[in-house]
Amino acid sequence: MIRSARNKVAVVTGGASGVGRGIAEALLEEGAQVVIADVEKVRLERTARELSIDHRLVDVADPASVEALADYVRSRFGTAHIMVNNAGVGAGGPMSQLTLDDWRWMIDVNLWGVIHGVNAFLPMFAGNPDGGHFVNTASMSGLAPLPLLGPYAVAKSGVIALSEALAAEQAELATSIGCTVLCLGPTRSDIADSQRNRPQTDTTTGFVEYKQRPDATIMWREPREIGRLAVEAIYRNELFVLSHPEQFDRVERRHDLLRRAAGLAPHPIDHPS
């Protein structure tokens, strides 16, 4: 397991801004050698310059692009120890209006991007004496989906399932490879403006413009806060990180429905007032 990031090689996708940059900065503070990857060339180069770290232009939806990233890291550093599959996009709209291209874009980046990262870096981790650790960025919407976020919730639910299965497999094999999934709530980033990076071939969309409504009850997290949570989870080999435990009631409501379905809790209709 990774007990210290000092002198370890860490790769962060979506590392040019937002949560990815926050995690990269936290790993740098721990003494890691960090490579950030992103699809936005100008922002990627600016962040790499500001942080004085290595960088690569990568489209996580393209398996060849992620394999090229792994090849570069292997040739440059010999191996990697931490892989943060963070790159993601966000958008919402009613399912009745969404196109198949809307679904494909969301799932290609948010789910396939993580699959590509695990597939490319797992063999590298297996060759390390002290293994390695994956950090996969998901969302509270993966645990408790909300209306108008169908494709996003589907992809993030997949990331959670992938992370759980990967952690269970590695534990069963008694390897030194760990996995953490970040189930994030409201965090300050540019994810609401994700369509700026959408392929130009997708000319129509059912996604609607996203505007966050002012809400004094919402506690917004800063990317650096998420970075610290991620680092601590790596060291403790924790599977789940919940950035907003105060929102756990959403998950509890889902669990209540499951308990009723399993006959472990009464259904309201069974006890009329």
Q: Any idea which residues carry the catalytic annotation?
A: 152
One-letter amino acid identity for 69?
L
Q: Centre a 10 Å sphere on the Cβ of residue 141 and count the other Cβ atoms it contains.
A: 22
Element of type H or E holding 36: strand 33-38
Burial 220-241 (b: 16+ CB within 10 A, else e): ebebbbbbbbbbebbeebbbeb
Neighbours of 262 (CB within 10 A): 8
User: What is the distance between the alpha carbons of residues 46 and 68, in angstroms, rounded to a whole number?
Assistant: 22
Residue 71 tokens, joined: 């090849």
Q: What percent helix, strand, coil does the chain show, rounded to 5?
A: 50, 15, 35
Taking each helix axis from N to C end, the angle separating 150-172 and 100-107, rounded to the nearest 10 degrees, works out to: 30
Position 216, amino acid: A
